[in-house]
A and B are shown apart, each in its own frame.
Chain A
Amino acid sequence: MKMKTVQVLAGAAALAFTAAAQAQVSNDVVKIGVLTDLSGAYSDLAGPGSVLAVKMAVEDFGGKVLGKPIEVVSADHQNKGDIAANKAREWFDRDNVDMIIDLVSSSTALAVMKVAKEKNKVSIVSGAASTKITNEDCTDTNVHYTYDTRSLAEGTGRAVVKQGGDTWFFLTADYAFGHSLEKDTSDVVIAAGGKVLGSVRHPFPGQDFSSFLLKAQASGAKVIGLANAGTDTQNSIKQAAEFGITPKQKLAGLLIFITDIHSVGLKAAQELYVTESFYWDQDDAARAWSKKFFDRHKKMPTMVQAGDYSATMHYLNAIKAAGTDDTAKVMEKMRATPVNDFFAKNGKIRVDGLHVHDVYLFQVKKPAESKQPWDYYKLVQTVPGEQAFTPLAQSKCPLVKK
Chain B
Amino acid sequence: MIEVFGVPLQGLFGQLLVGLINGSFYAVLSLGLAIIFGLLNIINFTHGAQYMMGAFFAWIGLTKFGLSYWAALLVAPLLVGAIGMVIERTMLKRLYHLDHLYGLLLTFGLALIIEGYFFNEFGSSGQSYDIPEALSGGTNLGFVFLPNYRAWVVVASIVMCLVSWFLIERTRLGAYLRAGTENPKLLQSFGVNVPLLVTLTYGYGVALAAFAGVLAAPVFQVSPDMGSKLIIVVFAVVVIGGMGSILGSIVTGLGLGVIEGLTKVYFPEFSATIIFLIMVIVLLLRPAGLFGRVR
Contacts and interface: CB of A to CB of B under 8 A. Distances in A.
Given A207-B230, A211-B261, A243-B145, A238 B11 contact: no
Nearest to B272: A203
B88 to A, nearest CB: 28
A214 B14 contact: yes
Interface string A208-224: 10111011001000000
Contact of A174 (B150, B261, B269): B269
B219 A239 contact: yes
B18 interface: yes
Contacts of B273: 203
Nearest to A259: B125
Most chain B beta-carbon contacts within 10 A, residue among A44, A231, A238? A231
Most chain A beta-carbon contacts within 10 A, residue among B8, B261, B264? B264
Nearest to B119: A39
A212 B19 CA distance: 12
Interface residues of A, number: 39
Contacts of A218: 8, 11
A235 B220 contact: yes
Interface string A227-262: 000110011001100111000000000000001101
A202 interface: yes
A201 B264 CA distance: 9
B19 A211 contact: yes
A248 to B, nearest CB: 10
Contacts of B271: 202-203, 211
**Interface size for chain B: under 10, 10 to 19, 20 to 34, or 35 or more residues?**
35 or more
B128 interface: yes
A211 B124 contact: no
B131 A242 contact: yes
A44 B167 CA distance: 44
Interface of B: 8, 11, 14-15, 18-19, 21-22, 116, 119-120, 123-128, 130-131, 138, 144-145, 147, 149-150, 219-221, 223, 225-226, 229-230, 261, 264-265, 268-269, 271-273
17 contacts: A41-B124, A43-B124, A174-B269, A203-B271, A207-B226, A214-B14, A230-B124, A231-B221, A231-B225, A234-B126, A243-B147, A244-B145, A259-B125, A263-B125, A263-B126, A264-B221, A268-B128
